[in-house]
Structure 1
Amino acid sequence: MNQELYEKGLKIRREVVGDAYVDASLKNADEFSQPMQELVTQYCWGEVWSRPGIDRRTRSLMNLSMLAALNRPDELHTHIRGAINNGVTKAEIREVFLQVAVYCGMPAGLGSFKIARQVFKEMGI
């Protein structure tokens, strides 16, 4: 493991999805899943999210559309919260999920709206 990339990724991961989520993910990791936590922190957050070519707000919008299209509700929940933390508005999230519904199907769009409403309620927005 590249410790420098891991630390950079850990910092970004915490800034985007929050300390509580990251702490829980790391605390709940066991011998089997710890390597996945290291991989996602080092490569996803440390290598890709730290790149200068696209800002975090844009990366969040991209993640929302991809996760909705792939029907990954757990990750979508996390990244809706991250998108809000990165300055994406509720209105922009709505537009992303409307686009998903048209291009990926109504079930994907409807499911995304359901998850977003849950996150907004949890965040008090």
Structure 2
Amino acid sequence: MTDRRPEFQGEQFEKGLQIRREVLGDAYVDRSIAAADDVSAPLQKLLTEWCWGEIWSRPGLERRMRSVLNLGMLMALNRSDEFKLHVRGALNNGVTREEIVEIILQGAIYCGAPASLDALRSAKAVFAEIDAATTQVSQR
């Protein structure tokens, strides 16, 4: 699904949209784009073009490393919703659950106990959601 409004068109937007889908998944991106209104559409456009189309497409770091960095920064900023989203993205980019726990432990020293506790709760919630979805699929 791609919204064909004028602000959601163009080469840079499409490039960013593709990367965003590969990292975060079609379902999340579809919901974000569909929910965009007159107030939020400009931010969706900016993030898709510049965050995903410009920064995530640069050759200097692999996506896996970008995910590791994002987890550390989002933990430091205590942004649990974005942290959860990027746990999924990190898993899609080849970061293991064990590595995510190690990132949180590393962050406990540099970001503090409250940030690491929130990050661990967030990671565990994402792991549980993924496990539940996997169990449902395998039981069909």
Task: Please confirm whether the aligned pair reaches a TM-score higher than 0.5, indicating the same fold.
Answer: yes
Counterpart residue type for residue 62 of structure 2: D
Unpaired runs of at least 5, structure 2? 1-6, 135-140
TM-score (norm 1): 0.97
Q: Which residue, 33, 37, 60 being the options, matches 2:67? A: 60
Unpaired runs of at least 5, structure 1? none
CA-based RMSD of the aligned residues comes to: 1.2
1:61 positional shift: 0.2
**How many angstroms apart in 2 are the aligned matches of 1:65 and 1:93?**
10
1:67 positional shift: 0.3
Match of 1:17 in 2: 24
Counterpart residue type for residue 67 of structure 1: L
TM-score (norm 2): 0.87
Match of 1:37 in 2: 44
**How many angstroms apart in 2 are the aligned matches of 1:35 and 1:69?**
27
**How many angstroms apart in 2 are the aligned matches of 1:3 and 1:72?**
30
Give the count of matched residue pairs: 125
Counterpart residue type for residue 77 of structure 1: K
Cα displacement string for residues 12-71 of structure 1 (whole angstroms, at most 9, x for unaligned residues) = 000000000000001111100000000000000000000001000000000000000001
1:86 positional shift: 0.3
- Which portions of structure 1, spanning 4 or more consecutive aligned residues, are displaced by more than 2 angstroms? none
